Chains A and B, each alone.
Chain A
Amino acid sequence: MEPAALRIERTTRASRLGAVGAALVLIALVSLPAWGDPSTMRILVEFIALLVLAQMWNLLAGYAGLVSIGQQAYVGLGGYALIVLADDLGVNPFLSVPLAGLVAAAFALPTAALVFRFHGGYFAVGTWAIAEVYRLLIANTPALGRGSGRTLTAVFPLARETREVTTYFLALAIGVAALVGVYVFLRSRYGLGLMAIRDSEPGSETLGVDVFRTKLVVYVGVAFGTGVTGALIYLNLLRISPDAGFSINWTAYTIFIVVIGGLGSLEGPLIGAALFFLVREYLSDYGASYMILLGTLAVGVMLAYPQGLWGMVAERWDLRFFPVGRRVSLDPSPGPSPQRGEGEGA
């Protein structure tokens, strides 16, 4: 039997366009310190942080079906890990950011052992409860500053500009790594297995996909990404307290971004994050009304367009800037019915 002439296409015209667009945006972003002002960089760091949080949560809820509302645990743990590593252990503060992700991942394993006992809604509340446990444990630890928190002092010797530019480039690297990482993961065999689980757990387990292990890997990996982002956020803010680091708002923003933008795609969180920032720029002065508006918008989208804004666009114009699928490019074969004589040894 001879192997069929098989070509698998993994790009689309939109994705090539997307790649060019992404490259242009990246060039603009990399050169920003040369022409932009520090406040733009600060805002971009915030934007990237929320975008990465959204991508992580999207992977967790939109692909693995693990609807956590306790991801603030890993934002807070990442932030505190940064301060302990940089201030107490003398690690380079910028190097501490990725290491903080490892600390978060280390906490994620025992956490998973507990919360994986729950399903659906109780999983959601369970993750929230454990985030509270971490918050209270830290709020009761004198070395971590108790309820008033700590300030990152390791960066004080650095010139303000150096710190801001380095933080900005680090954020950029984290943003690119997260986007590329999630994209590569989803395109890989593991992403294939994850999407199979999303569509049908009984179907996947009988085809050899280890459902539990896959979900665990995603949970721990997402904790890593969220922890890195938490460290980045507090490298930017310089000051952390338990109430701020473990605030449910981190998860609330994230969920609103993903739900409004569109769950289960890479483009959705991007659009959601951009929209979120736009609304924030114009409405954050109104304080609580702004959260009421976002909440109402998210609930409305969930009721009327569960696939989110990007889902509507993608469906209507069949557009995928970040395609994760595989298209078989078949040799022109005679007639509609394929040849079936070959390849008996299945």
Chain B
Amino acid sequence: MAALLALQHVSKTFGSLRVIDALTLAVGEREALGVIGPNGAGKTTALNLMIGRLRPERGAVVFAGRDITTAPPHARCRAGIALTHQIPHPFDALTVFENVLVGGVFGGGASERLAYGPSMEALELAGLAAKANTRAGVLTLLERKRLELARALATGPRVLLLDEIAGGLGEHEVHELVEVIRRVHRAGVAIIWIEHIVHALRSVVSRLAVINFGRLLVDGAPDAVMARAEVQRVYLGIDVQ
């Protein structure tokens, strides 16, 4: 499978701390990749390198065959890379519908009128249509997460990056979100999903990568990866007896 979005041997340091160390990570067209690893392993930094909020000191970021290492976030979004933030960043004073419309108009590159339809569809897909006229500032956490998802979808992405979207949600809520993500994936969108809630991840992704100390520890089929002793030790901190 040809890589759609790839980090190629990228390194990133903050001060004296190397957070990402010659990391290579790629997702193919229509593929769903899960990324796990302990806190501080560099997962969120890896995502920020993909969306262009950070630039690597070494290595390249490639999307659909083009080197995008120096492209700014808005350009990457318009090219088809969308992100849902771990901590939602709603536009508080705008309505839910307007929040999504921002994605449809700027990320999707449509005129406002043409973006109305897709924006509403994204809202419906994320299960927020009933709240379309609510000010985003008053949403609950689950609704904010849904809004992040709807806004990202409205940009018409080819690859969707999910940063701990299930974090802080209840079991039932996670289940609902998983359903939405599966549907997005079935529609042909590639997915990179960083998550701590492994069982949620496993119900969507076909491949799992484990990052530790900014490096790739293992990469492969989810069951095989989770069965490896070093993964259990590193990630869960529980010695398997």
Contacts and interface: CB of A to CB of B under 8 A. Distances in A.
Interface string B103-142: 1011111011000111011101101011011000000000
Interface string A198-211: 11101111111111
- Decide if the interface of chain B is mainly helix, strand, loop or mixed: helix
Q: Which of A8, A188, A195, A203 has the most CB of B within 10 A?
A: A203
Contact of A203 (B82, B90, B112, B121): B90
Given A344-B183, A346-B118, A205 B72 contact: yes
A206 B51 contact: yes
B18 interface: no
A188 B91 CA distance: 17
A346 B189 contact: yes
Interface stretch (A136-144, A149-157, A233-241, A330-338): A330-338
- Decide if the interface of chain A is mainly helix, strand, loop or mixed: loop
Given A189-B111, A195-B94, A206-B73, A346 B125 contact: yes
Contacts of A210: 72, 74-75, 106
A147 interface: no
Contact of A346 (B90, B102, B127, B187): B187
A4 interface: yes
Q: Which of A198, A336, A343 has the most CB of B within 10 A?
A: A343
A192 interface: yes
B197 interface: no
Given A208-B107, A338-B129, 16 more contacts: A1-B121, A6-B120, A188-B112, A199-B90, A199-B94, A200-B90, A202-B89, A203-B91, A204-B102, A206-B53, A207-B103, A207-B154, A209-B74, A330-B132, A337-B127, A342-B124
Interface of B: 51, 53, 72-75, 77-78, 82-83, 85, 89-95, 97-99, 101-103, 105-109, 111-112, 116-118, 120-122, 124-125, 127, 129-130, 132-133, 151-157, 183-184, 186-189
Report, nearest first, the 7 A-B pairs whose CB atoms are least far apart.
Answer: A203-B89, A208-B107, A343-B121, A338-B129, A208-B106, A199-B91, A346-B153
